[in-house]
Amino acid sequence: MIILDRESAKPLYLQIYQHIRDEIITGELEEGRRLSATRRQADNLGVSRNTVEQAYLQLCSEGYLENRRGSGYYVKHVDMSLLDSDTVSRKLQAFHRERPENRKFLYDMKYGNCHTENFPARKWRRAMEAALTEAVYGKLGVYGDNCGDWELRSYLADYLDRARGVKCSPDQLVIGSGTQQLAGILCQLIRPERCAIEEPGYDGVRHVLENHRIETAPIPVGAGGIDLAALRREKAQAVYVTPSHQFPLGEVMPIQNRMELLQLAEEQDFYVIEDDYDSIFRYTAKAVPSLQSLDRKGRVAYLGSVSKALAPSLRLAYMVLPPELKNRYDMWFSEYHNTVPSLMQDTLRIFMAEGSWEQHVRKICLANKRKHDLFAAKLERGLGPGFQVRGKGAGLHLIIESDHLTTEEMIVKCQQQGVNVYSMEKYFAMGSSRNLIMAGFGGIGAARIEDAADRILRALKTDD
C-alpha cells in the first residue's frame, strides 16, 4: 500500500517511484509481478494518471520495470547480490520501519485475526495433555497416515454432514496445514492449464495457482456470486469459488446458480474448488448448505479450516476429494507424509470426541454475532452521506465504501485515530477504481469493538 505525504516537498511521482523501487529491492514485489494499471493506481492514490506514469517510466528507465505493450508494467529481475550490501541494508531498515503494519496501532483490524478471549484454553489444554499421553505410548515414534488420523477424519465427516450437508466418507478426507497447502495439492491433482477465479477474490489461492504456473482467469462477482455467463466463455479446466460467503464482498450464491454451476462443470468437464472458509459465521439466517452437498457427479473438491473458529496458528485444514481426485491422490501422494503434526490432530480429535468442538462453535458464533451487530450498527448510524457499509450478515469483516474519499485517504485518517484498516486492492487481480477499505473485527475484543467503531467514525469525520 503506497502512502503519500502530501505535505512533503518531495514530488508525488518521486514518492511513488521510491516506494515501488524499495519494494522491488526488498523482494516485496517479486519478479514477474504485474503492477496496477496507471489509471487504477491514479484513482486509488487520488493523483493524476500522468503522475503515476512518470513514476512507472522512471522505474522502467532504471531497469526495475518493463512495459509490455498491451499488457501493463511488470517487475523485472534484479540481482540484489550485485548491489552494495550497505545500501540494501539501509533500504531494508527504512522499508520495514515505514511499513504501516510495523507501526503500533491501538486496533489492528486485519482480516483473519482472532481474539484469544474466546479460545477454549482449558479444554484445549486438557485434550492436548490426553493426546500427549496417548502419543508417548504409541504414536510419538511413527509418521501416521498420509491423509491424516482416521478417527479425526471420521469425526470431521460426521460433523460436515450435519453442519454443512457435505456427503463423504472419512476416506475422502485429507488433513493439511492450511488452505494454501491443500490448494497446492489440488493444483497437482487437477493439473489445469487455466483456472477461473472470483474477481475480487482470495489472493492467497490466486498466488498458489500462479506459483504452479497455472493461468488464472478472473471472473466478475455479482449479487449471485461468480458470473456464470462469463465463466462459460472462459472454458477453464477448474474454477475456485467461495459460494456460501463470497470473499471478500460477502455475496451468497443462490441455489439456482449453484445448480447451474454444477451443470456447467459437467458440460465443460472441469472441477469446482469450493472454499467454505467461514461458513459457520452467519448472523441473520441459517448457514447455507455447501455446494458439495448438491454435487452428484464428483465435480466438487471441498476445502475447510478450523482457523476462523479456533486459531489461525494451529495450521489445520482439510479437504474432501471426489472419488476420481482421491484415486489420484492415493497414487501420486502415497509416499508423502502428512504435514500436520500427529499431536495436533489427536488434540482436535479428542476435543471433538468430548463434544467441546460444537460447544465452542456455538459460543464463538454468538460472540462474533454480538461484535458484528454492534460494529455494523455503529458504522451505519454514524457514517454520513457518501458512505456504504457492505458485507453485513456474516463473516469476520465489514467493508466501507466511499464516494468521495480515496482508499488511501480513508486508511490514513483511520490510522491517525489509532485504527489500522486495510486496502482491498490485493483482492482485485485486474485492479479496482472503487474506494474500499476492509475492517476485520475478529481480532478485536468484545469490550473494545465500540471504541474501534467510534474512532473510525471520527476518522471519517462523521457524527458519533
Three-class SS state of 409: helix
| Residue-level pLDDT at 388 | 95
Residues 173 and 156 sit within 8 Å (Cβ to Cβ) = yes
| Nearest partner of 453 among 441, 442, 443, 437, judged by Cα | 441
Nearest Cα to 271, choosing from 328, 317, 309? 328
Residue 185: closest CA among 207, 212, 206, 210: 212
Q: What is the pLDDT of residue 79?
A: 66
What 8-state DSSP symbol labels residue 396?
Answer: S
What per-residue confidence (pLDDT) applies to 85? 52
pLDDT of residue 128: 95
- Give the model's pLDDT for residue 143: 83
CB-facing half-sphere around the CA of 335: CA atoms within 13 A: 1
198 bridge partner residues: 219
3-state secondary structure at position 360: helix
Is 317 in a helix, a strand, or coil? strand
The neighbouring-strand residues paired with 65 are: 75
Q: Select from 438, 397, 415 the least CA-distant residue to 100.
A: 415
CA distance 21 to 236: 35
Contact 276, 320 (CB under 8 A): no
Question: Tens digits of per-residue pLDDT, 384-436?
Answer: 899 999 999 989 999 999 999 999 999 999 999 999 999 999 999 888 889 99
DSSP secondary structure letters along 227-242: -HHHHHHH--SEEEE-
Hey, what's the cell of 340? Answer: 500436520
Residues of 66-93 as b/e, b for ≥16 C-beta within 10 angstroms?
Answer: eeeeeebbebeebeeeeeeeeeeeebee
CA dist 341 to 76, 135, 353, Å? 39, 11, 19
**Per-residue H/E/C for 329-343:** HHHHCCCCCCCCCHH
- Contact (CB, 8 A) for 271 and 301: yes
User: Against a cut of 0.75, is the pTM above it?
Assistant: yes
Say whether 389 sits in a helix, a strand or coil.
strand
CA gap 281, 277 in Å, rounded:
10
Other CB atoms within a 10 A radius of the CB of residue 226 amount to 25
- Of how many residues is the chain composed? 464
**Residues in Cβ contact with 10 at an 8 Å cutoff, skipping those fewer than 6 apart:** none
Residue 141: Cβ-neighbour burial (10 angstroms; 0-12, 13-18, 19+): exposed
Q: 301 to each of 238, 325, 363, 402, how far by Cα in Å? A: 10, 8, 29, 37
Residue 337: count other Cβ atoms within 10 Å of its Cβ.
9
Please state, in angstroms and rounded to a whole number, the distance separating the CA atoms of residues 33 and 206: 13
- Cell 491433482 appears where? 189
Q: Which of the residues in the chain have pLDDT under 50?
A: 91, 94-98, 100-101, 464
